[in-house]
Amino acid sequence: MQVLSLIAQKGGVGKTTLATCLAVQAVQQGKQVLVIDLDPQATASFWSDTRGKPDDPAVMSIQPVRLPAVLKAASDAGTDMVIIDGAAVSKEVAYSAAEVSDLVLVPFKAAVFDINSVAQTVQTIKQVGSRYALVLTFVPPQGKETEEAKDIATQLGSNFCPVLIGNRKAFFRAQSSGLAVQEFEPDGKAAEEIKALYTYVSDELAKQPQEAGNVKKFA
Ligand X SMILES: Nc1ncnc2c1ncn2[C@@H]1O[C@H](COP(=O)(O)OP(=O)(O)OP(=O)(O)O)[C@@H](O)[C@H]1O
To ligand X, the closest distance from the beta carbon of 138 in angstroms equals 5
Query: How many Å apart are CA 52 and CA 179, to the nearest integer?
Result: 10
Is residue 115 within 8 Å of residue 152, measured between CB atoms? yes
3-state helix, strand, coil in the chain (%, to 5): 50, 15, 35
Cβ closest to Mg ion, residue 15 vs residue 75: 15
Q: Which helix (H) or strand (E) holds 82?
A: strand 81-85
Stretch 74-103 residues interacting with ligand X (CB under 6 A) = 88
Contact 134, 118 (CB under 8 A): yes
User: Interface with ligand X includes 5 (CB under 6 A)?
Assistant: no
- 16 lies in the site for ligand X, by CB under 6 A: yes
15 is an interface residue for Mg ion by CB under 5 A:
yes
> Is the CB of 25 or the CB of 175 nearer to ligand X?
175
109: contact with Mg ion by CB under 5 A: no
CB of 11 to ligand X, least distance (A): 4
Q: Which of 26, 84, 152, 165 binds ligand X (CB under 6 A)?
A: 165
Piece in contact with ligand X (CB under 6 A), picked from 28-36, 71-79, 161-169, 203-211: 161-169
Stretch that binds ligand X, among 13-21, 71-79, 110-118, 143-151 (CB under 6 A): 13-21
Within 8 A by CB and 6+ apart from 214, the residues are: 3, 71, 100, 101, 102
Of all residues in the shown chain, the one whose CB is closest to Mg ion is: 16
Helix (H) or strand (E) holding 37: strand 33-37
* Choices 39-47, 59-67, 139-147, 182-190; region in contact with Mg ion by CB under 5 A: 39-47
- Residue 64 makes contact with ligand X by CB under 6 A: no
* CA–CA dist 212, 207 (Å, integer): 12
CA distances to 7, 35, 201 from 194, rounded to whole Å, are: 17, 16, 10
Strand, coil or helix: 128 = helix
Candidates 9-17, 108-116, 173-181, 201-209; binding stretch for Mg ion (CB under 5 A): 9-17
179 in the Ramachandran plot: left (φ > 0), alpha (ψ -120 to 50) or beta? beta
3 vs 93 by CB, closer to ligand X: 93
138 touches ligand X (CB under 6 A)? yes
**Residues forming the site for ligand X (CB under 6 A):** 8, 11-17, 39, 43, 88, 137-138, 165, 167-168, 171-172, 175
